[in-house]
Chains A and B, each alone.
Chain A
């Protein structure tokens, strides 16, 4: 690993960050040493709660008001940590700039893009508003915003997430900074947009030569763009070194665990003789968009003419970016929203059945949601949440029997049955998702729609949940419809994969064929963007 030298532009020394909370002091960062050289890209990687963002927030004087710092942040031979705001403002926004995780909210909704881009240039560069505006236009061109003359007058709400993130990058570059701190800049974006933003950042760094500190939880991104890596865990840097070395010879067990957390493996195929469980024919969902009084209705085809069939024990992975209609398809299959076409389950047509007729079938067709925080009632114990479905579907069970079934379900998802008397807020995200899975499994379903079940979880937790889903499928011969934008997870779990875009199927086929030999341009772009090909090459190399 490289040590500090005369090329070092920013150096964080023994930085500690504490938060005073009502329940005591939280040590978010516990003595971290990080430095970055001119023209270098350094990644800080870690899971949620590792203190990676707070380290950089503290360095920039952006902590919440209950945050306390100790240590040094050296920029140009001067400690900038704890400087008065007036002096700190001579550095931040000019020499050290930041891009944030939330492109949708990081720009002020009340001002035009042009005005917001101009502000730092007027404040730091001493430009007139007119000159700053002219330069803002150049910057928009630099970050490849289409129609910059028009977009400079646009408000943030008129732009997509990817475009807003480009604007943020333009803002970061406005004063020709020495260091650019990017805090999870692509996490909230679709994979293809993510790839474009990363390419843009890399290209701009090459041309402009600034140092980049890249905070992320995504190892794929680390491998793709960084020269050096710091691995953080619960407020400490546990390992650091050249990217190549970290990936090939990790030393710390946590680093190994992180690397190992990339979902791998394949699903064993289902025998040809397995019976067809579910068949969807030409499923269509249309939404009427509200365009105003007496205006012609605008119809959005969220799901357009989709057919597939699933044999017992199979998993169909549905991938696509946000707005592709994948979740809508999942709900249409379960008859949770009005849809055209035909869905046949166990040889019986279920499309068009009313609520009461569907209720008997609901036991066999279940749904697991993405958000493990919002989908469990905060006012019920875990035991009540899990056994609630039994009240409807197996009313003959006694309270004791229901409790026993809840215990059994909890054991099945590797949670201690003693926990059934606790409330959801006492559990972590991963544990909550296990509870959600237990709630589904207690009914012994045959078919489960999994709507992004792992997207809100850290990679290591995600891997455990994937393993759990796999085990449950094997044990109960479950049939899954697995919806995700995460191609690595889909690949690890699915027999067949369907790629969706704008409500239509772009490409469908066996998982390996789709990922290794994509035929359609969009699939190629998606797979390339997800960096699976690169990963695959490294695996086989």
Chain B
């Protein structure tokens, strides 16, 4: 789960991490009130879940109220990579001497929380990692042991030679680690953390992603979720216990299991078309899920044919058939449907469908080819 910069900064303040002053507004008319708290000059920053907002014109400096109103008015409602800006952060403009990169990730490869820090802040860190890896220090911390002062000294020593700044950064990083573990974050990134001209370490940007699997024990994190920033069909799928991702093709697919669902997409492409979506109905055997899955896929106007691909393990083919028949009864299909049904209780499932005049295949390659051909005819 992602949160906005202003929310990440609120969390930072809660954990005692020095952060630039800022106020979030949704209405350009309220921006001057916000500026009264942070002072001029200030920075107006679009709050969207996408990178590259600066280049897109979503970050502007305002020296006075007139500029502030103009920038806030222009940025609110702006479209950045398909997302409409509904909130801006009016943030303190800090006097910058140096820019650092500070990050923590849950690293899949080493299986530790790993600090990544660099004195080359304010730029694309992946580019730094690719071109000048020696400018980045990576340091794993064993969560069973925790963050100790030597971790802080090592990281801070890499970033600065000034003992006063080292001390601030070590403290900063320890608090960042505490926040990371306490909130079940999967990534916390400060790019940049600046050293001000009067020698203070301050976060002027903040990005935190959280582990979705841990939200059950993080109600405060869950409460920060911005539903307006998420795709409505993906949300509907999630509420029903499905995972759905919209893609750009015209063959819709409904599959049980994520690996098989991705494979089905790949086969659609292999046989000459493009998948309209990823949709995994999950491992359980609930007819209601098939019903919702059919609703979601048919709601996509690009879909020209639907492929239902089930290899029953836990999922029982008769339950799938019952769900499909219920969906068709509720809303008859106007586009072709190809069914591939095999595995647990397949005879019963196939018989139920046959009664309703639907032929279910067994072979995966054949079913995909049939669906691709049907979509082509429907174009």
Bound pair (A, B): no
B residues in contact (CB < 8 Å) with A: none
